[in-house]
Amino acid sequence: MTERIIIEADGGSRGNPGPAGSGVLLIEVSSGKVLAEAAIFLGIATNNFAEYKAVITGLELANELAPEAQILIRMDSKLVVEQMSGRWKIKHEQMADLSTELAELIGNRHVDFEWIPREQNYRADALANEAMDAEQSSIRKFTGQSLTVETSQAKVSVVDAEYNPLLPSSVRAPRNISKQLTTVILVRHGRTLLTESHRISGRGGEDPQLSELGVLDATKAGLELAKVGVTGSFASVIKPTAILASPIARAQETASVIGKQLGLAVEIHEDLAEIAFGDWDGHTNQEVATNWPDLYSQWRGDELISPPGGGESLSDFDKRVQRGRREILEKYAGQTVIVVSHVMPIRGFLKAAIAADWPAYWRTSIAPCSLTILRFWGDEAAEISCVNYSGHL
């Protein structure tokens, strides 16, 4: 039985964030024998993320190959050594999640962390660079007289290759930006009985709950959103830290389902409510066209006309939604926030993102529980990552 092992670990990122890799060696102290080595390709990530993932990989290998051994982790990352030794506070949420994962891997084992100069960590550094050069992962285990090799492809996706995590990706976008990036993940509520029967449902109307299909929609959306910042199509997006919802029941219920899966409380924002349709609420479009033919025809092409019985004009609605959008961007600057709302408010955010005119309100399809991801730097710049994504449904 191996009594003591050393884990040499390192991580790097070409661009920080950029294509990243982790390198790990497990060394038996008594003999100096290498038990295993790993070159792990991570896709697009930061240096700190790659360094943490190196230690995680090392501990996973140690738990497999030397479950009873005492461990000394040696690396040239002052940040990881000091944070995992408890001397430095962990402020970044993603790093806090990784440190929690590390703590769970350590369990009751005796593990020490030691900082070493970079030149003494050359073997782990070489493995990290091997992973970045090959754009694939390789784990080599030296057990007895045999060698076991595990490899896996992890190519940088087309999306990640041109993704700028700090600034707008286009070279024509402004660069003299003073505002922090705020990522907004817009989610339309799940289906209701009115949605399923194609009836108008706005602010101040019947306010139906989610149908059985709507609850299923919300559950699937929550599962997809739990992957954000971790894996899948949106691994490069910063993990959400807040959920906001329209005050309307179907949006609140959808947000609650998602919030429970992400461990986040839901905040209600009045300005995220759907547009008010007044007397038209609960009717189909055909019924409205039949019963209010002239007004309906005028309303469709004029942002100043309101539906009868307390309806809201598109102009007034837009002022409300943009006010709410700016409040959200200011309050959650530098974060990723999930906004659970309705078709029209989501179109309003899109209108602002592309600096569009009124036609933006009727040129985009927004399905129930679809995801629309927008990036805002205040009102200085914006970028659309995706619209009406429904691959999870």
Instruction: Assess whether 274 carries a catalytic annotation.
Output: yes
- CA dihedral angle for residue 228, residue 231, residue 234, residue 235, rounded to 10 degrees: 90
- The rounded distance, in Å, linking the Cα atoms of 31 and 316 is 76
Residue 143: Cβ-neighbour burial (10 angstroms; 0-12, 13-18, 19+): exposed
- The rounded distance, in Å, linking the Cα atoms of 372 and 337 is 12
Question: 3-class SS at 126?
Answer: helix
Tell me which DSSP letter residue 191 carries.
-
Inter-residue contact 124 to 75 (CB < 8 Å): yes
Inter-residue contact 328 to 339 (CB < 8 Å): yes
- The rounded distance, in Å, linking the Cα atoms of 227 and 235 is 7
Tell me which DSSP letter residue 66 carries.
-
* 198: phi then psi, degrees, rounded to nearest 5: 60, 40
* 62: phi then psi, degrees, rounded to nearest 5: -65, -40
Query: Omega before 17 cis (within 30°)?
Result: yes
Instruction: Assess whether 267 carries a catalytic annotation.
Output: no
**Active-site hit among 130, 189, 269, 312:** 189
Inter-residue contact 286 to 200 (CB < 8 Å): no
User: How many CA atoms are closer than 13 Å to the CA of 345, on its beta-carbon side?
Assistant: 32
CA-nearest of 181, 135, 184 to 160 is 135
**Active-site hit among 28, 274, 312, 383:** 274
- Residues noted as catalytic: 189, 274
